[in-house]
Structure 1
Amino acid sequence: MDKLALGQRIADAREDAGLTQEDVSRAVGLDRSAVSRLEKGDRKLSVPELVAVANVLGRPLAYFVAEPVPSVVSRRSDSAAPHHTSRALDTELEQFAADVRSCVEMGLLAPVERNPQACTPRDHEDSERLAGQVRHRLGLGNGPVQDLGAVSEDLGLYTYSVSLGKHGPDGGCVEVGEESSALGVAVINGEAAHGRRRMTLAHELGHWLCGDAYDSQASLESEKMISSFAIHFLAPRSGVAEVWRRNSGWNTRDRALAVGASFRLSWSAAVGQLRNLGLISQDERRHLGREEPKFGDYLRLRLSWDNELSSPYISPAYASACLNGYTSGRLTADRTVELLRGTLSAEELPRKNALEPDDYRRSFAGHDD
């Protein structure tokens, strides 16, 4: 990374940490003018100085030395988030993508082959058809997706859920690797409501499967089609209809609650899908949408679900790859904990693999007796 890019990263990280140049200069033992020159790209930084700056700014060393990943795109958010919150998403995406890329380069993760013909659905029928094809490929039937993070990584999309603020962006994704062989990386706002987190990840999965993870010029209509894929993937027509029929003795609102809980949807998504499938009228949709249910409404009906994708969350296969890297000696304890992003402490790391006799022989190969 060149001095200008490094300087900008230091400046951004300092601002995100709420520190002044004077704060950083005192903490790392540099003159304030030296910090200013660093941020402008006018001064080189020694390794000990860079380590000290990284510690003060609360960033891993890799953030300041790894080459940048492609631009962040397919950002999903219904809120008018301030600039610093969007930059927080960009930063988390870039760091996670760089770490996934590092795992690929070490042979801990393998890229998947992409479909060169993949494209965004043209209409809602195409979106529903694609969702059905993906569910069939995964053997999901018509029931709920029980572990969306694990299902996504089966399709080559790795997920990190991090706190980005209750009113922050929902999430985004990037592609890591070559066009025909790559992995997808998604960052999800772990402070969003449970159903919203799942909808966000399903939306990013749609971007990944449709091959448009780099499409920063995606139109509003294409975003609608990706959202249509997401809701049909999470709550397929036949499955929703089955839950709706099974609870025919309940009133309309309670039946909608049953659908939402069964498929782990937000209230707006559940009501919207019921309308999409013609199970309720437009007037019923408007009426139901006026009052968001409380947790007690679900408990009254003995309905509940797991708090999936809450922060911090890391895709299980990614966690497994990092831990295999540690037990095999390719990753240090500190680096492994850093890669796992607060989901595991150093004390919880597994025991390293014992060396086999062949390993010892290879270690001494070429040495004199």
Structure 2
Amino acid sequence: MLKLKQVLQGVGRPQSALAESLNLSSAAVAQLLNHGQWPRSLDNEELQGRIRVFLTEAGANDADIANAFEEVDLPCSSTADPAQMNEPSGEDEPMLLPKQTLLPSTRKAFSLFRDPFEELQSAQDMWVSPDIRYVRETMYQTARHGGFLAVVGESGAGKSTLRRDLINRIMESNDPVVVIEPYVLASEDNDTKGKSLKSTHIAEAMMAAVAPLAKPKSSPEARFAQLHKALKESHAAGYRHCLLIEEAHSLPIPTLKHLKRILELEVGFVKLVSIIMIGQPELDVKLSERNADVREVVQRCERVTLAPVNGNLLKDFLTFRFSRAGKPLSEVIDDSGIEAIAARLSQPSRRGGREETVSMLYPLAIGNLMNAALNMAAELGVPLINADVVKGV
């Protein structure tokens, strides 16, 4: 660690202020202060001169400025001042990063001609863990054979990928399944915040899919009877029907209740429509057994949750992603870097009086952190991402 870090603390200036003054990223300044790694793209002497100017304007004394670039040992845990150990530094970065893209200089430095975390182009780009395989297969069997399923997952967990995979799988297998996707742009769960997806919108989408030339009846009951008849005729022609609703956490309670009536459309013992809802954890709240308004829906709905990537499988996930981009993982990141990613995307939580760790190792979060680390490594001239680089992002 450079003594510069202590000098900044002594004059009460944050690292972010120094980064802004030098026109460098906070990650680059953190690497400089904590590990003495100077950006290779800049001349060290010129950069030191700019830092001295900053310190002078901040009120640092001449002795501290003269010794600012000396390296000092980090205090051991046994000798560190407890007050300093417990005091927040104010330099912590947010755990989850916004969308990160690879810079052209990064692609050149690591010989990456394709972003390993770009939007999937085919089913072969999907990494399938045991948990994902279970959810994927459950969705497919529900679409083919009937049922009522809710798929719940955090943002970036891969819900949209599974939706696209389901449709692609049905098409490639030539399964006689009509997939119906009703949607409302910027859907909200009530009409005060936006436009909500109502049962009439769903019925219209279903009619458009199974009987596009039919003229809708005037009354709601007549339209529902018309829909039932159209579904029977489609079933007689050998088709199954799957109602696929994305962003289902935005469904209003009345629409959730109406889904039960759609599920009850049948001919003999055969249900004419299967229903798959895909949404964020708010959907789980709406489908709580304690919610009396949707009790009959909850009793009929199976729920599956998209879990984060298991920490033990993180290396397999990264290996697969980079192999799709034609790059061996060992040429990009070492084991310490992988361990740092797992640690960075985990946070302590207290639930029911017990301490536990909440994992945020979802594909989108992993990709953003990895791309940010690649960009920083290229900026610093580091040939391989290690724990220090990840911690500096």
Q: Does TM, scored on the shorter chain, surpass 0.5?
A: no
Structure number with greater Rg is 2
Q: TM-score, normalised by structure 1?
A: 0.28
The structure, 1 or 2, with the larger RCO (C-alpha pairs under 8 Å, 6+ apart) is 2
